[in-house]
Amino acid sequence: MASIKVPEQKVILCGEYGVGKSSLFRRYAYDTFISSSSRKSTLGLDNFNKEYKVDDRSIQMQLWDTGGMERVASITSSYYKFAEAAILVFSLDNAASFHVLSQHLLEIVTYAENAKIFLCGNKSDLEGTTPQVTEADMENFCEQCHNLISSTYKTSCKTGEGVEEMFADIGRQLILSNRSRLELQTMGAGGIGTDSFKLGGRGSEEGEVAEPPCLC
Amino acid sequence: MDEEYDAIVLGTGLKECILSGMLSVSGKKVLHIDRNKYYGGESASITPLEELFSKFGSTLPDEVTFGRGRDWNVDLIPKFLMANGSLVKLLIHTGVTRYLEFKSVEGSYVFKGGKISKVPVDQKEALASDLMGLFEKRRFRNFLVYIQEFSEADPKTWKDINPQSATTAQLYDKFGLDPNTKDFTGHALALYRDDEYINDLAIHTIRRIKLYSDSLARYGKSPYLYPMYGLGELPQSFARLSAIYGGTYMLDKPVDEIVIENGKVVGVRSGTEIARCKQVYCDPSYVQDRVKKLNQVIRCICLMDHPIPNTKDALSCQIIIPQKQVNRKSDIYVSLVSYTHQVSAKGWFIAMVSTTVETDNPELEIKPGLDLLGSYKKKFVTVSDYYEPTDLGTESQIFISTSYDATTHFETVCTDVVNLFKRGTGEDFDFSKIKLEEEAS
């Protein structure tokens, strides 16, 4: 079964426990919403691929959820490895979840140096008339982190507002910014890191053998 | 923490993380604790480089520039994955492979008569090898052909030797192999650490040589794989599996007491908090009074700015020094990884020399390995005790893993994990229980 390989791009969700990272994941993957009262915990959410297109170019966005590890312990550094983008999520009705973001940002720049970073204020349905986190706060934050943040978004997983728009926009930005890198890779000028491979997937243990890496 | 769990796992080394993943997947409620503030315990890759220096009580020197500290991820225990080995199977069956990327290790060498040679694995290589004389090459070739065609299920391929009753020595003699050939076959292909295997059943040796050649057939240059960013990625990946199946993680949490009632574990105390449980799974460091020391392993980490001489500038390789070559009882292992695995700064290499300790001067024991490296810029030496549990945990319900041994691969790690799981749960791990939500779509 020959197919043209669409590049996979890992995008990770970061932020405090309870800001709605898994809800964003569910909206993205299945367009569903489960209210906190009827939900047990982050269970079984791993990663999910979805294709985004700009003109004739497309990518497989691979969104990753934390697996709930941030509840008590810290997230593994592995989570950040190979990430092309990170979405910093906070809850618009919880100022503390916003003020702690610089810590999450630090982890991203440490372990996923080259990832593009996006800021997402979730639970916009709970914002009310006196917002806990204002747009000015968000702008200030972006300025303080030396414009490391590529774009900011407001979403509501409950109503679905802004969610698909956010992922589509991130997908678009990844396609545009990765153009040169992908072209470099196809020309074989990658050097380090381009000849590493994933082991054959489940069930394909016998059949699927990765191509032997080149000797260059 | 003040809750009740089916199992509490102590330590986030590779064995404990695989177990934690298996237990969570099997529907058990798992609490996983580490006293360190990082994942991986002894199987962590240390980063940044400053952290490695401080771990060994020193500081980064000014005169040598090791590049950027955070580009380094240095393993404390050197190992490679056999491409067709148990850990790869476990990674694939659990789906954990999706979290990792690998590179094939470039070369596999064996030390003989003062120099190193490529390990020959097929007929062509055997005939070209400088390890043997002409007549010996033909005998070795016949031996390789026999192994290749050997099938456990088909006695016709056994020829006139019964591998279930004959010893390895008898197998070797049947093909008339000379002592040198026996030496590199047993140590560089079957990967035995000492010579006790000679009197063991031939079938065990045949299986091990087959594992080597099947592994080699999968990705090419050598039978070994190494993960990008270092071995510390392995425990983290299994920890994620456990978390996704509901496992709770606590790091930087002291373990003050394993609470026992009537000879059976009932919980784990940290400060004034007690988490109750039916079982505990842990590494030996959490239960010093329930393990016995068997021997010691010496491991030496060398930071170098060049590849190992006489390896065709391989960016990764393994060299086995069979015990007889240096008048020892156990082999010396040398492994090399480099900046191409994202474990060191650009242009840097990490060599590791290790062996089972036999004398009062372990540093002298690894000298034959160090001599192969050429110059190095920094050396860190550890001598660690190898522990085994004093009992199987049947009564106490405390299941203790063994320390990491001197072997160069993960086969014994997997055997221990599979045994622990079976001892603890009374059943074999059922891979069909792994179903992630995404796969439902």
User: What ipTM was predicted for this assembly?
Assistant: 0.84
Buried/exposed code over B224-261 (b: 16+ C-beta within 10 A; e: otherwise): bbbbbbbbbbbbbbbbbbbbbbbbbbbbebebeebeee
Peptide bond just before B389 cis, omega within 30 deg: no
Mean of the pLDDT values across residues B330-346? 96
Query: CA of A27 to nearest chain B CA: how many angstroms apart?
Result: 13
Q: State the Cα–Cα distance between residues B60 and B430, nearest whole angstrom.
A: 47
Which has the higher per-residue pLDDT, A194 or B16?
B16
CA angle (A39, A67, A48) in 5-degree steps: 95
Which has the higher per-residue pLDDT, A154 or A178?
A154
Q: State the Cα–Cα distance between residues B352 and B312, nearest whole angstrom.
A: 18
Q: Do A78 and B91 touch (CB under 8 A)?
A: no
Which pLDDT value is given to residue B125?
83
pTM, 2 dp: 0.90
A157-177 residue pLDDT tens: 999 999 999 999 999 999 988
Q: How would residue A194 be classed by pLDDT, with cut points 50, 70 and 90? A: low
User: Is the pLDDT confidence value at A69 over 90?
Assistant: no
Mean of the pLDDT values across residues A36-54? 76
Which pLDDT value is given to residue B37?
92
Which pLDDT value is given to residue B310?
95
Mean of the pLDDT values across residues B386-407? 96
Q: State the Cα–Cα distance between residues A70 and B250, nearest whole angstrom.
A: 9
A78-104 residue pLDDT tens: 999 999 999 999 999 999 999 999 999
Which pLDDT value is given to residue A5?
63
User: Is the pLDDT confidence value at A181 over 60?
Assistant: no
Which pLDDT value is given to residue A44?
67
Q: State the Cα–Cα distance between residues B425 and B441, nearest whole angstrom.
A: 31
Whether residue A73 lies within 8 A of chain B, CB to CB, comes out as yes
Which pLDDT value is given to residue A183?
55
Whether residue B27 lies within 8 A of chain A, CB to CB, comes out as no
Work out whether the CA dihedral B222, B223, B228, B230 comes out positive or negative: negative
Whether residue B2 lies within 8 A of chain A, CB to CB, comes out as no
> What six digits make up the tokens of B390?
């004093």
Task: Report the percentage of chain B scoring pLDDT > 90.
Answer: 86
Whether residue B345 lies within 8 A of chain A, CB to CB, comes out as no
User: Is the pLDDT confidence value at A182 over 60?
Assistant: no
Which pLDDT value is given to residue A61?
95
Q: State the Cα–Cα distance between residues B264 and B393, nearest whole angstrom.
A: 9
Which pLDDT value is given to residue A4?
54
User: Is the pLDDT confidence value at B437 over 60?
Assistant: no
Q: Do B228 and A47 touch (CB under 8 A)?
A: no
Work out whether the CA dihedral B44, B50, B53, B57 comes out positive or negative: negative
Q: State the Cα–Cα distance between residues B401 and B416, nearest whole angstrom.
A: 7
Mean of the pLDDT values across residues A58-75? 88
For residue B85, give the amino acid letter.
G
Q: How would residue B123 be classed by pLDDT, with cut points 50, 70 and 90? A: confident
**Which B positions 309-328 lie with beta carbon below 8 A of chain A?**
none
Q: Do A205 and B220 touch (CB under 8 A)?
A: no
Whether residue A44 lies within 8 A of chain B, CB to CB, comes out as yes
Q: How would residue A193 be classed by pLDDT, with cut points 50, 70 and 90? A: very low
CA angle (B251, B254, B255) in 5-degree steps: 110
Q: How would residue B192 be classed by pLDDT, with cut points 50, 70 and 90? A: very high
User: Is the pLDDT confidence value at A200 over 90?
Assistant: no
| Residue A215: strand, helix, or coil | coil
Task: Show the domains of chain B with their CATH numbers.
Answer: 4-43+232-292+387-425 (3.50.50.60), 48-106+294-386 (3.30.519.10), 119-219 (1.10.405.10)
For residue B306, give the amino acid letter.
H
Mean of the pLDDT values across residues B229-244? 96
User: Is the pLDDT confidence value at B439 over 80?
Assistant: no
**CA-wise closest residue to B319 among B130, B80, B125, B110:** B110
Mean of the pLDDT values across residues B160-179? 94
Residues 6+ apart with CB under 8 A from B71: B48, B49, B339, B342, B344, B345, B346
Identify the DSSP state of B409.
Answer: B
Task: Report the percentage of chain B scoring pLDDT > 70.
Answer: 98
User: Is the pLDDT confidence value at B249 over 50?
Assistant: yes
Which pLDDT value is given to residue A202?
42
**Which B positions 83-142 lie with beta carbon below 8 A of chain A?**
88-89, 91-93, 95, 97-104
Q: Do A73 and B250 touch (CB under 8 A)?
A: yes
Mean of the pLDDT values across residues B211-227? 89
The number of beta carbons lying within 10 Å of the beta carbon of residue A181 is 13
Mean of the pLDDT values across residues A6-30? 92
Of the candidate ranges A36-45, A179-188, B358-367, B429-438, the one whose mean pLDDT is the lowest: A179-188
Which pLDDT value is given to residue B232?
97
Which pLDDT value is given to residue B219?
82
Mean of the pLDDT values across residues B99-121? 92
Query: CA of B17 to nearest chain A CA: how many angstroms apart?
Result: 12
> What six digits make up the tokens of B426?
């009374």
Give the helix ranges, DSSP H, for B150-263: 168-174, 179-184, 202-219, 233-244
Q: Do B437 and A46 touch (CB under 8 A)?
A: yes
Question: B3: which strand partners?
Answer: none
Which pLDDT value is given to residue A192?
44
Which pLDDT value is given to residue A1?
40
Q: State the Cα–Cα distance between residues B70 and A110, nearest whole angstrom.
A: 8
**CA-wise closest residue to B353 among B326, B378, B372:** B372
Q: State the Cα–Cα distance between residues B292 and B386, nearest whole angstrom.
A: 8
**Integer CA distances (angstroms), B307 to A51, B314, B372, B374, in order:** 42, 6, 11, 9
Mean of the pLDDT values across residues A116-144? 91
By DSSP bridging, strand A8-14 and strand A83-91 are parallel
Which pLDDT value is given to residue B156?
92
Of A76, A81, A196, the CB nearest to B102: A196
Residues 6+ apart with CB under 8 A from A92: A121, A122, A123, A124, A126, A127, A131, A132, A133, A154
> What six digits make up the tokens of A141?
């934050």
User: Is the pLDDT confidence value at A208 over 50?
Assistant: no
Average predicted confidence (pLDDT) for chain B: 93
| In chain A, beta strands by DSSP E | 8-14, 47-54, 57-64, 83-91, 116-122, 149-154
Please give the distance of CA B355 from its chain centroid, rounded to a whole number.
13
Q: State the Cα–Cα distance between residues B281 and B7, nearest whole angstrom.
A: 7
User: Is the pLDDT confidence value at A212 over 60?
Assistant: no
**Integer CA distances (angstroms), B48 to A111, B68, B72, in order:** 11, 8, 6
Query: CA of A208 to nearest chain B CA: how many angstroms apart?
Result: 10
Which pLDDT value is given to residue A48?
92
Contact indicator for B164, B201 with CB cutoff of 8 Å? yes
Question: B167: which strand partners?
Answer: B201
Which has the higher per-residue pLDDT, A214 or B268?
B268
Phi, psi of A48, deg, nearest 5: -145, 130
Which has the higher per-residue pLDDT, B305 or B64?
B305
Which has the higher per-residue pLDDT, A210 or B287?
B287
Taking contacts as CB-CB distances below 8 angstroms, the residues of chain B near A110 are 70
CB–CB contacts below 8 A, A to B: 115
Contact indicator for B402, B418 with CB cutoff of 8 Å? no
Taking contacts as CB-CB distances below 8 angstroms, the residues of chain A near B441 are 29-30, 48
Phi, psi of A152, deg, nearest 5: -120, 150
User: Is the pLDDT confidence value at A211 over 50?
Assistant: no
Q: How would residue B433 be classed by pLDDT, with cut points 50, 70 and 90? A: confident
Which pLDDT value is given to residue B64?
78
Contact indicator for A70, B250 with CB cutoff of 8 Å? no
CA Rg, chain A, in Å? 18
Q: State the Cα–Cα distance between residues B344 and B72, nearest whole angstrom.
A: 4
**CA-wise closest residue to B44 among B181, B230, B171, B312:** B230
Whether residue B295 lies within 8 A of chain A, CB to CB, comes out as no
Q: Do B218 and A45 touch (CB under 8 A)?
A: no
Of B37, B97, B339, the CB nearest to A199: B97
Task: Show the domains of chain A with their CATH numbers.
Answer: 8-189 (3.40.50.300)
Q: How would residue A131 be classed by pLDDT, with cut points 50, 70 and 90? A: confident
- Burial (CB count within 10 angstroms: exposed 0-12, middle 13-18, buried 19+), residue B364: exposed
